[in-house]
Amino acid sequence: MKSANTARRADDPRQLVLDTVLALFSERGYFATSVQDISRESGVSVGSLYHHFGDKAGIARALYQTLSDRMSARISWIGAHRKTAHDQCRDIVRTLFDMTESEPLVMDFMLYAKHRDFLPEEKPICSSKPFELARAMVAAGMVSGEIRPMDLNVATSSLFGGPIRIIVSRLDGILQAPLTHYFDEVWDCAWRSVAAR
Amino acid sequence: MKSANTARRADDPRQLVLDTVLALFSERGYFATSVQDISRESGVSVGSLYHHFGDKAGIARALYQTLSDRMSARISWIGAHRKTAHDQCRDIVRTLFDMTESEPLVMDFMLYAKHRDFLPEEKPICSSKPFELARAMVAAGMVSGEIRPMDLNVATSSLFGGPIRIIVSRLDGILQAPLTHYFDEVWDCAWRSVAAR
DNA sequence: GTCTATACGACGATAGAC
DNA sequence: GTCTATCGTCGTATAGAC
């Protein structure tokens, strides 16, 4: 299964390029990465790049789309397999923490893609599909009485704002320990901020 | 007083440039703004720009430094004039909310400057001077018993993470009402997340 | 300190053979 | 679909007069 997947990635030039640019954009930034750089690092020629993605921004768009879909799928799965808003939101935070440790480049790109001057037309992360899914769970929790009645944006921001800041701190190299080490404390704080009692 | 200040800004080419680039960087982004653009909009010649700031990145650095110092001064003032950690942190959040409404460009630049591919060597916002000052107040609150004992990074992130997410939502145009409308609810959630009881 | 004019390089994008 | 070679543009930065 895994080898099939790996082979598929190596054969598919599109996926090969996306894997490459994720690394390049994360370490140098979008504007410091030239199309020639992408061509050289991925082994795909400039002509093919333009054939597949249209223009340079198209590469960034495709990357964002792919990662956004993956994250949405994970959150949807949690929504379907956990009953209470408490459990759903806790598992979302846990998943975000896990992703930060196993794929820091992905988290970094997702958190900051919209604010990095490229992808001008993309909606900010907080109105993106993954965040919308999470917001819906918070709304349900308010209806069920798990979460105190309040503005939905305030509740969602309060619940996930702390965890997100911790993730950013970890990505910035401020926290030395893996995020699992902080999970219980972080989630306890987050849930207290909105819990009904 | 105000006219003197205004005159001073208009006469001082440095300040004139910084006011101009704040607007340009915010609306088009750093890389989409050329040095020629800055020259034209500010009325300062290209030669003078390089004379004063060394290179293009130097302009962004100077802007960040100025705004960071202003914010640090405000937070220091709060630290000196409020006794409890609760009051200090609440007033910090209130000040951040006020700044977001009165100077949205400044808040936008401060929150995202480090992650916008320019200023590569600058430390991330969470290790910057203003954030350090806030962290120290949280630490004091933990010693005094106002805040539950826990990891300092977790406490600071939990306390300010929610408010910061709300600020970002407002800057992104998701929230229609001014932030003062949300302040009480936001602060209530934030404080509950770390309060001793 | 301020200005204009210009050098120089790099970039995104395309053309066109295979 | 893939590739190489090349074009035209625009950017930063500097030179040098005032």
**pLDDT of amino acid A112:** 87
Query: Using the 8-state DSSP alphabet, how is residue B6 labeled?
Result: H
In one-letter notation, the amino acid at residue B84 is T
Per-position pLDDT tens, chain B of length 197: 434 445 556 678 999 999 999 999 999 999 999 999 999 999 999 999 999 999 999 999 999 999 999 999 999 999 999 999 999 999 999 999 999 999 999 999 999 887 788 887 777 666 689 999 999 999 999 999 999 999 999 999 999 999 999 999 999 999 999 999 999 999 999 999 999 98
Domain boundary among B34, B54, B74: B54
Residues A47 and A89 both lie in one domain: no
Using the 3D structure, point to which of B30, B54, B78 is the last residue of a domain: B54
- A165 with A71, same domain: the answer is yes
Q: How far apart are CA B105 and CA B14, in angstroms?
A: 18
Looking at residue B125, what is its pLDDT? 67
Q: Do A151 and B182 touch (CB under 8 A)?
A: yes
Range of the domain at B143: 64-192
> Is strand C in 7 Å reach of the CB of B79?
no
> Is there a single domain that holds both residue B166 and residue B141?
yes
Residues B148 and B194: their CA atoms lie apart, in Å, by 6
Q: By C-alpha distance, which of A140, A127, A108 is closest to B173?
A: A127
Q: Which residues contact B145 (CB under 8 A, 6 or more apart)?
A: B196
B166 contacts A162? CB cut-off 8 A: no
Q: Is residue B59 part of a domain?
A: no
CA distance between the termini of chain B: 46
Residue B76 lies in a domain: yes
User: A48 with A82, same domain?
Assistant: no
Task: Specify whether B43 is located in the same domain as B10.
Answer: yes
| A93 and A37 fall within a common domain | no
Beta-carbon separation of B157 and A169 below 8 A: yes
Q: What is the pTM of this model?
A: 0.94
Nearest CA distance, B5 vs chain A (angstrom): 33
Q: Give the pLDDT confidence score for residue A2 in this predicted structure.
A: 39
Output the pLDDT for position A122: 73
Q: H or E segment at A57?
A: helix A56-81
Same domain, B113 and B155: yes
CATH of the domain at B47: 1.10.10.60
**A118 CA, C5 C1': Å apart:** 32
Q: What is the CATH number of the domain that holds A167?
A: 1.10.357.10
Which tokens hold the place of B69?
A: 């110092």
Cβ-defined contact of B168 to A31 (cutoff 8 Å): no
If one counts every other C-beta atom within 10 angstroms of the C-beta of residue B27, the result is: 11
Q: Is nucleic acid strand C under 7 Å from A120's C-beta? A: no
Whether A95 and A169 share a structural domain = yes
Q: What is the dihedral of CA B182, B184, B187, B193, to 10 degrees?
A: -110
Q: What pLDDT does A196 receive? A: 97
Strand D: list protein residues with Cβ under 7 Å. Answer: A 13, 43-48, 51-52; B 33-36, 46-47, 50, 55-57
Q: Assess if residue A59 is contained within a domain.
A: no
Same structural domain, B71 and B149: yes
Q: Which residue of B has its CA nearest to A192?
A: B193
Residue B111 within any structural domain of the chain: yes
Is residue A32, in this structure, part of any structural domain at all? yes
Contact between residue A70 and residue A31 where contact means Cβ atoms under 8 Å apart:
no
Q: Which residues of chain A have pLDDT under 50?
A: 1-5
Measured in whole angstroms, the distance separating CA A194 from the mean position of its chain's CA atoms is: 23
Distance separating the N- and C-terminal Cα atoms of chain A: 46
Q: Is residue A197 included in any domain, yes or no?
A: no
Nearest to B153 among A30, A159, A174 (CB): A174
Question: Which of A117, A165, A186 is closest, CB to CB, to B30?
Answer: A117
Model pLDDT, residue A115: 79
Q: How many domains does chain B have?
A: 2
Q: How many CB atoms lie within 10 A of CB B161?
A: 30
Question: What's the rounded Cα separation, in Å, for the pair B93 and B167?
Answer: 10
Pair (A121, A182) in one structural domain: yes
> Considering the domain boundaries, does residue A73 fall inside one?
yes
